[in-house]
Amino acid sequence: MVIQQPDYEIVETGEDERLHTGRLVPVYSLTEGLPQRALRSLMWRLVDTFGAEVREVLPEIVRTRRGLVGLARGGAGRTFPETDGALTAARRRLTFDEGLLLQLGLAILRSRVACASAASR
């Protein structure tokens, strides 16, 4: 076994260690000069500051019927999950939203094609 690009961080004690160690942590594709810790800290601040402001788009009855978490919780759980279960629930919600948006887009496209076809007759 060969490790091609080992990645490690020096563990330091500090107030933000709950973000970088002892949990599932995101690993981002980086630009030169931008370390993982800095980007992870920025993303944490963004999610912490603005995550609760994400507007829910699905009615509660749909979320309950489908067993989906709220959109704000799904976004935070996808980026900084507390557990494997939280990550799974977040992925499930965001995957559902992607599929729903795709279906809605296709329905709109079909409707436009049908209208254009009817108008040309």
What mean pLDDT do residues 7-32 have?
69
What does pTM read for this prediction? 0.72
Q: What CA–CA distance (Å, rounded) separates 71 from 24?
A: 20
Contacts of 71 (CB under 8 A, 6+ apart): 54, 55, 56, 57, 58, 93, 97
Contacts of 109 (CB under 8 A, 6+ apart): none
pLDDT in tens, 50-79: 988 999 999 999 999 999 999 999 999 888
pLDDT at residue number 119: 86
Domain ranges of the chain: 17-119
**Would you call 2 helix, strand, or coil by DSSP?**
coil
